[in-house]
Structure 1
Amino acid sequence: MPAMKTPGVYIVEKSAFPNSVVEVATAVPAFIGYTQKAENGDKSLLNKPWRITSMKEYEKYYGGAPSPKFTISDVAKIEDADFKVRLGGDTRGKGKGLAQDNSRFILYYSMRLFFQNGGGACYIVSVGDYDGDASGDGKGEIKADELRKGIATLIKEPEPTMVIIPEVTSLADLKTCTSVQQAALLHCGNKMRNRVAILDVFDGYKDRQDPDGDCIAAFRDSLGINYLDFATAYYPWVQTTIIPDSEITFNYLNKAGKAALVELLKTELKVAVTDDVPMETPEAGDDGSPAGEPKPSKEGQMILDQRANLAKELDNVIEFADAVAAKIALRDGGDEQLKGKTDADIESLVLSERALLNKTLMAVSPLYVQVLKAISARLNLLPPAAAMAGIYTAVDTTRGVWKAPANVSLASVSAPAVNITHDDQEDLNVTTQGKSINAIRSFIGEGTLVWGARTLDGNSLDWRYISVRRTMIMMEESIRLGTKAYVFEANNAQTWITIKSMIRNFLTGIWKRGGLAGASPDDAFSVYVGLGETMTPEDILEGILRVSVLVAVTRPAEFIEITFTQQMQKS
């Protein structure tokens, strides 16, 4: 207050209430990966964490989906086939496989899965685009070094509470994938200690009895033992509905794939002449002439003519449907259909041609439908970490961070990639090494559920459950930030009492909402601070104020045992 030297009235305001601890955000994931672009106006967002709140914002700053391209090839074992080709009298069929010839960029699809499972505010770190250079061929490479650099950019961002790297599973091998995941563990458990990593299992779409080996055992062996309490992992991958069937066309095939498809369709359309069209047999003549050979009916002949014309035009129509890249050359090259057309006109024409061809093939070719379903299955197969980040957000919002993110259904998921039984989950959940893997299971009448809530440090009684770890992070960060106001205050009894009261009020609120276990606040937590209690005279001389907080965090009922015993009849 100013010195009172001039006569008048002076106002003095005094604080009636002490500072309070404000609960920090608990569900703000950071996604690291590759995007179509990374720009805010004329400013680059490459390797810069940027906060968004919706898919619309993502597309504004980072663009749209990648352009995956597949080729069609023979497979050695029919069991490994993506689809089967049965022509003529071949009942077993020939196996065909799909192979993607460009990098598997999945951040865009993972973001859609995140928001559809309840996701909200999050950070994006774009480490590169789909091309990798100016070629525009969509064949940019996913590199471990670039993903690790993306992790490092989050050190200066205090808000994110989760780290997810969907495209780490698209790296060349398990060793490279694990190196990035270990960097994420180091970031979460050593450098920051205020966030957790949600990890995907490399090759997690495979069964554990796969001839190539047990993906879970390989994941556990390669991950190491450091900072496991700051991470959780989920198995298996999930089959999603992120990309609807209506968006799947032959345009997902590369040039060689389209050529192979054309040949298969031509063969199918020709073989189908005697297989599935209405036929009729001419009756014997009155003059004793024998009955004629079966031949297509009028309706059948119309179908045959349609197929014959389609088979004949397949090359031309598909080639024309790919004309966007060379539309100017086509227009100026004397093509009568394109004369006088603008670029926009040609693009519209190409799209209509593609749509018409796709609709026609869907109607007359079962093989084409098979191919599209195989492509859809490939594109919609995604690792589950992004979906889990969305579920964490939804559960935190509705129930609180102390509620285990389990026994919750996954949205936009049709089925897990591998069906897990009760017995299968035993080794996933409880293992000698303690590296628990949370299962995603399908239950009859309930759908696909998250059926596990452990960290990778499953042998620790302190940090076994991910809800406990995340609740502790929330309380630690909230109290740390709240207590920051008392740095350089007098290290005396008045400050100690104020800090103790502030922390107790905060923890009482958590206890009332169910985050701490106990019949009363005194049973749920204790706060100690003061000389002779948490500090020595030497601590005070050195400027140290020590506070000790004990909490009983609510833990999930992972196993429920109900005992039945028969008793004697009483009446």
Structure 2
Amino acid sequence: MLKSNIKTPGVYINEVNDFSNDVIPVATAVPAFIGYTPQAVYEGKSYTNVAQRVTSFAEFKAIYCFPDPPAPAQPAKQYQPQYYLVPQKAQPAAGDYLLLDGTYYVLLPDPDTVYYLYNSIRLFFENGGAETYIVSVGSYGPSSGKAANFGEQVINANVQLNDLLHGLQLLSNESAPTLYICPDATLLSVADNGSLMQAMLKQSSGMMTSVSVFDIIGGKNPDPIQYMNDITAFRNNTGVEGLSYGAAYYPFIGTTIMQSSEIDYTNLFGSDVKQLAGILNPPANPNMAVAEIISNMETAPNALSVAQYNQTLLNASKTYGQIISHVLADANLLPPSGAMAGVMTTMDNQNSVWTSPANVSIVGGVSLPIKLSDGQQGNLNVDVVSGKSVNVIRFFNGIGILVWGARTLDGNSMDWRYISVRRTMNFLEQSCKQAAQAYVFAPNVKNTWETVKSMISSFLTNIWKQGGLQGASAADAFSVDCGLGTTMTSDDILNGFMNVTVKVAVVRPAEFIEFTFQQQMAVSS
């Protein structure tokens, strides 16, 4: 209270704040997913091209999924990929194939019906995900009506680079997301995917709030011999800017996200049961039960539900069950980025942001399309030319599938080699930045400097006590400087600058643990 404001006789109380403001830790695991959803409407309002925060899968489903019809009708299908069985003259040298009645078939999707965001969100929540942002850039587009070319990359013509770039740009107005994830990016061409990744890294490094998590084209069906070609293409297309703000994971993961009830004959041949009949009821090996079921499906499609017709086909034909199993397995091969967002959320909540999101399993992960060895991983983990490390998801006998890598794309940097270091620094920087907002326009004098130093020092002391900083004492773990002659000149003060210098000793992971064994002579006691 200013004395000049006191004009009436009496007793006045003037309270003095004894404690400085606190630094409130910012959230560390808030992913933002960009991609295509079944729909984006809630209560008549469109959520297309809107950065919307959701906190549960139920909330995601309410906004971005088709509403379920009233019981007893089956739940609405949210994802309807189409597959074709294409006959081959001989046994394929690689890839997924089936041998049916002496004929080899390869299972190929209609590329324009393949999307990854919906199932990636499910994988995220299954792995411990909580709060997230969704940017739906559109709904699913029309099918092409034909199978992808065998052995070629699946490119969805409905997935457009400009759509995803626009969704990314919307996130430039949001400071809360700490992870950028775009599972549908692998459905772009290699060149367009590279443009998107470079834009994500540029925005991440510019905002200094997030890390971009990448999937690698070719990670779904890697060639066991030539898989490094996909890694090389990835490294050649990520550019050189903002590499410490990016992390890549390889390969895709076979999951149990989609259940058998979500795949049926409507996922085959564009729902053309006549083409299916030619495989299930061939002239050389007729199946009269199948013939009758398919005849009923054509003449009385509404006599039974899709689920009931599907079950009768499963009962009548082992071949049909074999086909559905292969379709389900392929649809369940997902990019790992959604799972990694959930893993990072769980690690942050159970441990801390400075704990590496590695040496942990993935909930729902049951298989890998390629099982890499120690020697094979070495070339992915360390690249002496580009330094662009790729984190491998591996299978270990007796243990299962583990995330076995903890590096950023800036693998040759001593400062920013590890994901945990990058994310910890983002956490410390943004927490201190938010707290310092209270002192914008405050007098640029010693009292303010000391208050800011005290506030940040108290925050970093707590982080050190929790194990987030190295050092036998707090003084060894960090230092905070702010003042005339140390971080500022007289010109700085005249120009309105208050400079604070913070140095921290961040915890780093023990990536390589080496034991030294040496023999010694026996000694008498």
TM-score above 0.5, yes or no: yes
CA contact (8 A) 1:83 1:371 kept: no
Alignment of 1:207-286 (within 5 A): 207=222, 209=224, 214-255=229-270, 258-267=273-282, 271=285
Is contact 2:277-2:294 (8 Å) kept?
A: yes
1:43 to partner: Cα distance: 2.1
Which consecutive segments of 4 or more residues in structure 1 shift more than 4 A? 208-213
**Partners of 2:112 and 2:314 in 1: how far apart?**
26
**CA offsets 1:472-527 (integer angstroms, 9 cap, x no match):** 01111111111111112121111111111111000001101111001100110011
Letter in 1 for 2:395: S
Q: Which amino acid aligns with 1:36?
A: P
How far apart are residue 251 of structure 1 and its match?
1.7
Cα–Cα, structure 1 residues 254 and 312, in superposed 2: closer, same or farther, change >3 Å? closer
Matches within 5 A, 1:472-551: 472-551=425-504
Aligned 8 A contact 1:70 1:257 in 2: no
Deviation at 1:157, TM superposition (A): 0.7
What do residues 119-144 of structure 1 show as CA deviations (whole Å, max 9, x unaligned)?
010000010111379xxxxx981111
* Contact 1:107/1:167, CA 8 A, preserved across alignment: yes
Q: Which residue of 2 aligns with 1:387?
A: 339
Contact 1:20 1:482 in 2 (8 A): yes
What SS is found at the alignment partner of 1:149?
helix
Seq. identity, %: 43
State the one-letter code of the partner of 1:544. Answer: F
Q: Specify which of 14, 17, 20 is matched with residue 19 of structure 2.
A: 17
Shift of 1:228: 0.7
CA apart distance, 1:96: 3.2
Alignment-derived partner of residue 96 in structure 2: 82
| Offset, 1:113 | 0.3
CA distance in structure 2 between the aligned counterparts of 1:400 and 1:35, rounded to whole angstroms? 32
Question: Take 1:140 and 1:564, find their aligned partners in 2: how far apart are those partners?
Answer: 58
- Amino acid of the residue matched to residue 315 of structure 1? I
- The answer for the alignment partner of 1:164 in structure 2 is 181
Residue 102 to residue 316, structure 1, CA distance change in 2 (3 Å): farther
Give the equivalent residue in structure 1 for 2:146.
none
RMSD: 2.1
Q: Residue 246 of structure 1: SS of its match in structure 2?
A: helix
Kindly indicate whether the alpha-carbon contact (under 8 Å) linking 1:413 and 1:448 is maintained by their aligned counterparts in 2: yes
Q: Shift in Å at residue 103 of structure 1?
A: 3.0
Give the Cα separation in 2 of the matches to 1:366 and 1:208.
Answer: 30
Contact 1:72–1:257 (8 Å) recurs in 2: no
- My pick for the range that moved more, 433-442 or 250-259, is 250-259
For residues 220 and 257 of structure 2, what CA distance do their matches in structure 1 show? 17
Amino acid paired to 1:400: S
Q: 1:261 to 1:57 in 2, by over 3 A?
A: same
On the 8 A contact 2:22/2:455 being kept in 1, the answer is yes
1:109 aligned to which of 111, 119, 125: 119
Shift of 1:267: 2.2
For the 8 Å contact 2:82–2:113, the answer to whether it is kept is no
Over alpha carbons, which structure has the higher Rg? 1
* Number of the residue aligned with 2:197: 181
**What is the DSSP-based 3-state SS (H/G/I as helix, E as strand, rest coil) of the residue aligned with 1:78?**
coil
Q: Matches of 2:227 and 2:262 in 1, distance apart?
A: 33
Residue 370 of structure 1 corresponds to: 322
Q: Which amino acid aligns with 2:477?
A: A
Amino acid at match of 2:296: V
- The answer to whether 1:427 aligns with 2:443 is no
d(CA) in 2 for partners of 1:210, 1:248: 32
- Which of 190, 196, 202 pairs up with 2:211? 196
Question: Distance in 1 between the 2:441 and 2:290 partners?
Answer: 83
The alpha-carbon deviation at position 51 of structure 1 amounts to: 0.3
- What CA distance in whole angstroms lies between the structure 1 residues aligned with 2:271 and 2:339? 34
Whole-Å separation in 1 of the counterparts to 2:192 and 2:272: 29
Give the secondary structure class of the aligned counterpart of 1:567.
coil
**Paired position in structure 2 for 1:400:** 352
Match of 1:146 among 139, 151, 163: 163
Indicate conservation of the 8 Å contact 1:103/1:170, yes or no: no
Partner of 1:120: 130
Q: Which moved more, 1:393-402 or 1:218-227?
A: 218-227
Structure 1 CA distance for aligned equivalents of residues 100 and 157 of structure 2:
36
Cα distance between partner residues in 2 of 1:228 and 1:544? 30
Q: Is the Cα contact below 8 Å between 1:207 and 1:214 reproduced in 2?
A: no
1:392–1:186 CA distance, 2 compared to 1 (3 A): same
SS of equivalent to 2:249: strand
- 1:299-352 Cα deviation digits (max 9, x unpaired): xxxxxxxx52x133143233257x4xxxxxxxxxxxxxxxxxxxxxx5xx541x
Alignment length (residue pairs): 497
Match of 2:110 in 1: 100
Instruction: Report the TM-score when normalising by structure 2.
Output: 0.90
Matches of 1:212 and 1:442 in 2, distance apart?
Answer: 17
Structure 1 segments unaligned to the other structure (5+ residues): 134-138, 273-306, 324-345
